[in-house]
């Protein structure tokens, strides 16, 4: 679909340079294979937001490799470390189903705190589906801020897709109700539901999402086909905390990891599936309409590790 490794490599340059660059630098500077090097590498992994447990695990595996193969060359250490990390990621994602539009309407609910990129992701996806010849309906259920509705309208015009909206301050579930009834009547292929990332407090937000979830089930008893939590990669480990909190209220089917282009902490992707059991399905690598890709673990590891 999208996503050539070369382009992805460019988009992930910050992570690649920072985290992979630092590993190479530490190895070069140390110039020998010893415990001090192992500690330095572990530190770099933790700083890149891989997560403490996962980082320790990776370096333990590296120690084992070094011992088993009696590795003394620093270059081989680097290759070995990269392979361990790539293998871990590939193993984590082995059973992940790709994003697959297999029924109609295919309902995707987007949730997440303010500013993570929900509306932008919906805009990008709408355009993608439209290009594939699918009919798309957006539902503007972020009624909390007036600007949020306007922002989605702009994206709907850009993608040339329909939108269901009500005025600012109206009940989000009522917009969802109207939108889904319209989808049922007109037979859209895909429905993309935007939601607010903020209410007057967190309990309100979670109540609201619970209500939206129940509203979807009133019209389509199976509920949303995908419930995607959008998280901002630049917030690092915070993204994991957010995922845990949201997942308690509404069962998540996947994550969208945005702003991977703007961070050197792309290491977050190594820990997230491992920790939460929830796969990253889409990645955002920029603000433009084409800057959204299916998360493909093989392409991703290539983009990060290949020279
Ligand atoms: N660099 C970059 N910026 C992004 C990405 N996704 C979203 N943004 C920006 O993040 C900001 C907030 O996005 P928005 O969609 O309004 O977030 P929402 O509050 O969750 O709906 C906007 O300025 C977007 O352009 C991404 O993948 N990369
Ligand atoms: Mg928004």
Residues 66 and 115 in one domain: no
DSSP 114: T
Burial of 182 (0-12, 13-18, 19+ CB in 10 A): middle
Residues 126 and 268 in one domain: yes
- The pLDDT assigned to 114 comes to 93
286 within ligand 1 shell (Cβ under 6 A): yes
Q: What separation in Å is there between the alpha carbon of 84 and the centre of ligand 2?
A: 38
Q: What is the CATH number of the domain that holds 110?
A: 3.40.50.300
Residues 135 and 274 in one domain: yes
- The pLDDT assigned to 95 comes to 79
Residues 75 and 132 in one domain: no
Question: Dihedrals φ, ψ of 169, to 5°?
Answer: 90, -10
- The pLDDT assigned to 4 comes to 57
- The pLDDT assigned to 5 comes to 65
Residues 168 and 62 in one domain: no
% residues pLDDT > 90 (the chain):
72
> Which ligand lies nearest to the CA atom of residue 261 in the structure?
1
> Which ligand lies nearest to the CA atom of residue 144 in the structure?
2
% residues pLDDT > 70 (the chain):
98
Give the confidence band of 1 by pLDDT, cuts at 50, 70, 90: very low
Could you tell me how many residues make up the chain? 307
**Domain end call among 92, 119, 142:** 92
Atom 13 of ligand 1, nearest CA residue = 117
Q: What is the reported pTM?
A: 0.93
Structure-token pair, residue 101: 């539009």
Q: Is 41 a member of any domain?
A: yes
| Domain residue limits at 17 | 5-92
Residues 148 and 297 in one domain: yes
Structure-token pair, residue 162: 């329909």
Q: Omega before 86 cis (within 30°)? A: no
* pLDDT exceeds 50 at position 86: yes
Under 8 Å between Cβ of 135 and 189: yes
Chain centroid to Cα 152, Å, comes to: 20
The CA-CA-CA angle for residues 248, 250, 253, to 5°, reads: 105
Residues 168 and 273 in one domain: yes
**Domain end call among 70, 92, 114:** 92
Q: Is 44 a member of any domain?
A: yes
Q: Is 205 a member of any domain?
A: yes
- The pLDDT assigned to 305 comes to 84
258 within ligand 1 shell (Cβ under 6 A): yes
Residues 187 and 285 in one domain: yes
Q: Which of 217, 192, 196, 216 is nearest to 206 (CA)?
A: 196
* Average pLDDT value for the chain: 92
Atom number in ligand 1 closest to CA 122 = 15
Residues 162 and 188 in one domain: yes
Under 8 Å between Cβ of 80 and 62: yes
Q: Is 101 a member of any domain?
A: no
Give per-residue pLDDT as tens, 108-154. Answer: 999 999 999 999 999 999 999 999 999 999 999 999 988 999 999 99
Q: Which residues contact 271 (CB under 8 A, 6 or more apart)?
A: 49, 50, 51, 53, 54, 240
Give per-residue pLDDT as tens, 277-290. Answer: 899 999 999 999 99
- The pLDDT assigned to 98 comes to 72
Residues 137 and 208 in one domain: yes
Q: Is 88 a member of any domain?
A: yes
Which of 114, 118, 120, 265 has most ligand 1 atoms within 8 Å of its beta carbon, as the pocket-test mutant?
120
- The pLDDT assigned to 224 comes to 97
Which of 287, 289, 293 has most ligand 1 atoms within 8 Å of its beta carbon, as the pocket-test mutant?
287
Atom number in ligand 1 closest to CA 142 = 21
Which of 117, 119, 233, 282 has most ligand 1 atoms within 8 Å of its beta carbon, as the pocket-test mutant?
117
Q: What separation in Å is there between the alpha carbon of 269 and the centre of ligand 2?
A: 23
Q: Which residues contact 128 (CB under 8 A, 6 or more apart)?
A: 1, 2, 292
Domains contained in the chain, number: 2
Q: Is 155 a member of any domain?
A: yes
Question: Dihedrals φ, ψ of 141, to 5°?
Answer: -95, 10
120 within ligand 1 shell (Cβ under 6 A): yes
Residues 236 and 259 in one domain: yes
Q: Is 100 a member of any domain?
A: no
Q: What separation in Å is there between the alpha carbon of 55 and the centre of ligand 2?
A: 34
Residues 222 and 262 in one domain: yes
**Lowest mean pLDDT across 79-93, 109-123, 162-176:** 79-93
Q: What is the CATH number of the domain that holds 31?
A: 1.20.120.140
Handedness of CA 197, 245, 117, 153 (dihedral sign): negative
- The pLDDT assigned to 102 comes to 86
263 within ligand 1 shell (Cβ under 6 A): no
Q: What separation in Å is there between the alpha carbon of 98 and the centre of ligand 1?
A: 23
Atom number in ligand 1 closest to CA 262 = 1
Q: Is 99 a member of any domain?
A: no
118 within ligand 1 shell (Cβ under 6 A): yes
* pLDDT exceeds 50 at position 2: no
**Domain end call among 46, 61, 92:** 92
Under 8 Å between Cβ of 181 and 220: no
Give the confidence band of 81 by pLDDT, cuts at 50, 70, 90: very high
261 within ligand 1 shell (Cβ under 6 A): yes
Residue 305 CA to residue 105 CA, distance in Å, equals 39
Q: Which residues contact 178 (CB under 8 A, 6 or more apart)?
A: 164, 166
- The pLDDT assigned to 3 comes to 47
């Amino acid at each position: 679909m999208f996503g050539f490794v070369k382009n992805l490599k460019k988009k992930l340059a910050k992570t690649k340079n920072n985290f992979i660059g630092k590993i190479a630098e530490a190895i070069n500077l140390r110039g020998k294979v010893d415990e001090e090097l192992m500690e330095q590498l572990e530190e770099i992994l933790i700083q890149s937001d891989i997560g403490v447990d996962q980082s320790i695990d990776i370096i333990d595996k590296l120690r084992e490799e070094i011992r088993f193969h009696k590795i003394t060359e620093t270059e081989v250490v680097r290759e070995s470390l990269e392979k361990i990390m790539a293998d871990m990621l590939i193993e984590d994602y082995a059973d992940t189903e790709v994003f697959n539009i297999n029924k109609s309407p295919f309902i995707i609910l987007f949730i997440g705190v303010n500013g993570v990129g929900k509306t932008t992701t919906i805009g990008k996806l709408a355009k993608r589906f439209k290009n594939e010849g699918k009919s798309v309906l957006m539902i503007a259920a972020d009624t909390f801020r007036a600007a949020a509705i306007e922002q989605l309208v702009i994206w709907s015009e850009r993608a040339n897709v329909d939108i269901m909206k009500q005025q600012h301050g109206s009940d989000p579930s009522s917009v969802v109700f109207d939108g889904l009834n319209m989808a049922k009547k007109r037979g859209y292929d895909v429905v993309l539901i935007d939601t607010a990332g903020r209410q007057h407090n967190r309990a309100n937000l979670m109540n609201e999402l619970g209500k939206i979830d129940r509203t979807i089930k009133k019209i389509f008893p199976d509920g949303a086909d995908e419930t995607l939590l959008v998280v901002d990669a630049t917030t690092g480990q915070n993204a994991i905390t957010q995922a845990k909190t949201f997942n308690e209220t509404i069962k998540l089917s996947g994550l969208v990891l945005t702003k991977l282009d703007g961070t050197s902490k792309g290491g977050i992707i190594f820990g997230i599936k491992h920790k939460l059991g929830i796969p990253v399905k889409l990645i955002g690598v920029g603000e433009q309409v084409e800057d959204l890709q299916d998360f493909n673990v093989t392409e991703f590891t290539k983009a990060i590790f290949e020279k």
